[in-house]
Structures are given as structure tokens and as C-alpha cells.
């Protein structure tokens, strides 16, 4: 073992994802604390004929991270490297947890334009799978990338932005760790803002009747449908200049800085499948999922989540080139989920869905390639950067058909 201290996993030299579904026994778990150390680690692994994968916070449900080779954790490579106040941009180290960025960015009067449901992910892990929040005008986190530094398979550091190697930029926005180790990302931010959160419950029919107008009216809107009671919990977030009012929180309303409003606490472990369907197909797809669950899976009590995301530039983003509705189904991590998920998946596919890379799905290269117009271009970039497949694992080989 090269470097003890990788949480408890290093003791047994095993690694597990958050839900416990994916486990692996890496040859080593390395914890480089500089870009040079990242490069050395990769070079050593490649020279020794080992493959290398990077773990963020292990919050993906699929076997993206699993490796029997070198596993890199960038937990010691974090923080803000550079602030560009003129353009509201910051360059952040890849291992930075999203939660750690809120305060320092706010000190500089900036914040992320949007965030997902939790903020415990490493920024590079979130970017690499197309992690998104909700908001019809807002793309995934990857859409905010303006430049990247990547450690390639031979231990070189390459930079890309819109002027320098734009193909690499578009391929690397969402790249599943298949191109190299992201070392730093320059992100487009927005001026720091407060959000007014409102959460309330309503019958599902009423929720669906109001859906289009709420999606259009609120900067962020989503709902969870609870199958057993057949009601929806709706959440709307809108910018406000009002000051935080802690007394309001018990009424299902609160006001605070955006980075404090976005994240939820998810204590109960679950597994999840999510597909992104064209925005116009969202309501019909949700209705079909609801019917399938009511008819065939009445035992499932975990809710279905419905969110909107704007079209993304990243070649492998599930939101690439089209405004999207993202629909997620969940099951308790202690209960079997495969049959349930496999039974709902065809509905997502009938509606033109693309799976979330970090969430459970059963698609492989043959099914994935036709969903992504830039698929072959991505594979070309991957081959250019990593011809020997240092960054491939079994899961990626299946996804890419290699």
C-alpha cells in the first residue's frame, strides 16, 4: 500500500462506492498532493503495466471507479488556485469537494450557477459524469467549464480551452475519467446570490397540471412523486435579495446563500437509475413510469424525482444538444433493485432517454453510440490521449465497445 489514510478503505485495500453496490481491490491507493505527484503516479502505473482510475467521493452507482490497478484519490489536491474577478471565474483543483467551494467563492462575491442534490462530490467527479441540478435554463456543472488541465497517460499535463484544443475541451467536459486525470478546472461562475426555497405537497394530478408553468416561472423547480400516497413534493427556488430568516424554515420556506440552499442531506443509502429525456417528452415519460410502478412495483416506496436541465455542449453529456427532463427512480440500498430498474428502463429508452453515467443502467456501446452524435469523435480523442488504455476498466470497455 503506497499511502495509508484513504479513509477506512485503505486498511483492507478495498474501495467501495457510497451505496455499497460497487467494490474493488486496487493494487494500490495513491493520494497525490500535487500535480507533479499525480503525474508521477500515473507514469509509474503505466510503466508497470497497471491501469489507473480516479475516485472522487464514490457517489456514482456504476462501476466507473472500480480497478485492480492504481486508484488515485485527489482528496489532498484541493482548493482554489486562481480567481478571475473580471470574468467571474475560478480555477479549482480537481479534488475539491463542492461543499468546500461555497464559502471561499462567496468571499470573492461569486457562486456556482447551479448545484445538484448533494454537495459532497469532488468537483472533478461531478463534472466527469454530467452531474446537474434542476432549472430549465441551466446546464449541468460541466457546461460551466472554461478550461481544464489534464494529466495524460504518459504523465504529461495538457491544457485545453475554447482556443487551444477545443475538441479536447468538449470531449473532456464529461469524460468518465477516460481521458486522463483532471487536475484543475476553470469554471464560469455567477455573482453570489441568495435563494428563496419553497417546499410543499400537492396531489400528483395538480402537480402535473401546473408543471409547465412552474418550470417556466421558477429558476429551479423539481418534484418528487411518492408512489404510496400518490402525492408530489414540489420544490421551487428563486433568487432574492431578502435577508435569511431562520424563523421561516419550519414553514417549508427558507432564504439563504445559494450554496447553503441547494444541498440536501441524504442519510439513507439507496441505489438509483436516472435517464435524461427530451424536455417535451418529460411529462409523458413520467406518467408511463408512474403507471408501470403502480401496476407492477407497488412495493417500491422510494420517490421518483423530476428535474429539468438546459442543453449541454459536452459531447458525452446526457444533456448534449437538447433541453432535458431528468427522471430518477430509487430503491433502498439494502433491497434488490435490478429487476425494478430493468422493468422501468425500456420506458426511458422509448422516450429517447440517455442514462446518467453515474447511475445504474444496462446500456452498452451498441445502444449508447446512436444516442450521442459526437460518440465517434469522443472515442477518437480518447484514443489520441490514451492509446494504451491506461485509464480503462471493464465497465468503460463495455461502455465504449473496446
Ligand X SMILES: Cc1cc2nc3c(=O)[nH]c(=O)nc-3n(C[C@H](O)[C@H](O)[C@H](O)COP(=O)(O)OP(=O)(O)OC[C@H]3O[C@@H](n4cnc5c(N)ncnc54)[C@H](O)[C@@H]3O)c2cc1C
Q: Report the interface residues with ligand X, using CB under 6 A.
A: 18, 53-60, 64-65, 74, 94, 116-118, 121-122, 124-126, 128-129, 131-132, 176-177, 181-182, 266, 356, 358
- Using DSSP's 3-state secondary structure scheme, residue 347 falls into helix
Q: State which residue, 117 or 210, has the beta carbon closest to ligand X.
A: 117
Q: How far is the CB of 127 from ligand X (least distance, A)?
A: 8
Burial class of residue 243 in the structure, from the number of CB atoms within 10 Å of its CB (0-12 exposed, 13-18 middle, 19+ buried) = exposed
Q: How far is the CB of 378 from ligand X (least distance, A)?
A: 14
Q: How far is the CB of 386 from ligand X (least distance, A)?
A: 12
Q: State which residue, 21 or 108, has the beta carbon closest to ligand X.
A: 21
Q: Rounded CA gap, 302 and 285, in Å?
A: 18
Q: State which residue, 69 or 358, has the beta carbon closest to ligand X.
A: 358
**Which stretches of 26-98 are assigned E, i.e. beta strand?**
28-30, 52-55, 70-73, 80-84, 89-93
Helix (H) or strand (E) holding 385: helix 375-385
371 is written with which cell numbers? 444516442
Q: How far is the CB of 286 from ligand X (least distance, A)?
A: 17
Q: How far is the CB of 126 from ligand X (least distance, A)?
A: 5
Q: State which residue, 99 or 298, has the beta carbon closest to ligand X.
A: 99
- Structural contact between residues 91 and 184, judged by C-beta atoms closer than 8 angstroms: yes
Q: Alpha carbon of 347 to those of 32, 306, 372: distances in Å? A: 43, 15, 19
Q: How far is the CB of 302 from ligand X (least distance, A)?
A: 12
- Structural contact between residues 359 and 276, judged by C-beta atoms closer than 8 angstroms: no
Q: State which residue, 5 or 298, has the beta carbon closest to ligand X.
A: 5
Pairing of strands 15-16, 23-24: antiparallel
Amino acid at each position: 500500500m503506497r499511502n495509508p489514510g484513504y479513509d477506512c478503505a485503505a486498511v483492507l485495500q478495498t474501495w467501495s462506492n457510497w451505496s455499497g453496490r460497487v467494490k474493488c481491490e486496487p493494487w494500490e491507493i495513491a493520494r497525490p498532493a500535487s500535480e507533479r505527484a499525480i503525474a508521477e503516479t500515473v507514469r509509474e502505473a503505466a510503466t508497470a503495466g497497471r491501469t489507473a482510475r480516479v475516485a472522487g467521493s464514490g457517489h456514482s452507482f456504476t462501476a466507473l471507479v472500480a480497478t485492480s490497478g492504481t486508484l488515485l484519490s485527489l482528496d489532498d489536491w484541493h482548493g482554489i488556485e486562481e480567481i478571475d474577478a473580471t470574468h467571474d471565474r475560478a480555477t479549482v483543483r480537481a479534488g475539491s469537494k463542492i461543499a468546500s467551494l461555497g464559502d471561499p467563492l462567496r468571499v470573492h462575491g461569486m457562486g456556482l450557477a447551479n448545484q445538484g442534490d448533494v454537495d459532497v462530490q469532488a468537483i472533478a467527479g461531478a463534472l466527469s459524469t454530467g452531474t446537474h441540478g434542476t432549472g430549465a435554463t441551466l446546464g449541468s456543472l460541466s457546461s460551466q467549464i472554461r478550461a481544464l488541465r489534464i494529466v495524460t497517460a504518459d504523465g504529461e499535463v495538457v491544457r485545453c480551452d475554447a482556443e487551444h484544443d477545443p475538441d479536447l475541451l468538449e470531449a473532456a467536459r464529461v469524460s468518465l475519467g477516460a481521458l486522463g486525470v483532471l487536475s484543475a478546472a476553470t469554471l464560469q461562475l455567477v455573482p453570489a446570490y441568495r435563494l428563496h426555497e419553497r417546499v410543499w405537497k400537492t396531489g400528483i394530478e395538480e402537480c402535473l397540471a401546473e408543471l409547465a408553468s412552474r418550470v417556466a416561472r421558477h429558476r429551479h423547480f423539481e418534484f418528487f412523486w411518492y408512489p404510496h400516497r400518490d402525492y408530489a413534493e414540489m420544490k421551487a427556488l428563486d433568487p432574492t435579495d431578502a435577508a435569511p430568516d431562520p424563523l421561516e424554515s419550519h414553514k417549508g420556506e427558507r432564504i439563504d446563500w445559494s450554496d447553503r440552499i441547494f444541498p440536501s442531506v441524504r442519510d439513507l443509502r439507496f441505489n438509483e437509475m436516472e435517464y435524461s429525456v427530451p424536455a417535451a417528452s418529460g411529462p409523458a415519460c413520467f406518467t408511463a413510469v408512474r403507471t408501470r410502478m403502480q401496476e407492477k412495483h407497488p412495493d417500491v416506496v422510494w420517490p421518483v424525482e423530476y428535474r429539468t436541465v438546459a442543453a449541454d455542449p459536452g459531447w458525452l453529456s446526457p444533456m448534449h444538444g437538447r433541453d432535458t427532463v431528468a427522471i430518477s427512480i430509487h430503491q433502498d440500498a439494502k433491497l434488490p433493485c435490478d429487476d425494478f430498474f430493468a422493468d422501468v428502463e425500456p420506458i426511458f429508452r422509448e422516450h429517447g432517454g440517455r442514462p446518467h453515467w453515474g447511475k445504474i443502467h444496462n446500456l452498452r456501446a451498441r445502444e449508447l453510440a446512436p444516442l450521442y452524435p459526437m460518440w465517434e469523435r469522443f472515442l477518437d480523442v480518447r484514443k489520441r490521449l490514451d492509446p494504451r488504455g491506461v485509464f480503462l476498466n471493464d465497465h468503460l470497455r463495455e461502455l465504449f465497445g473496446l
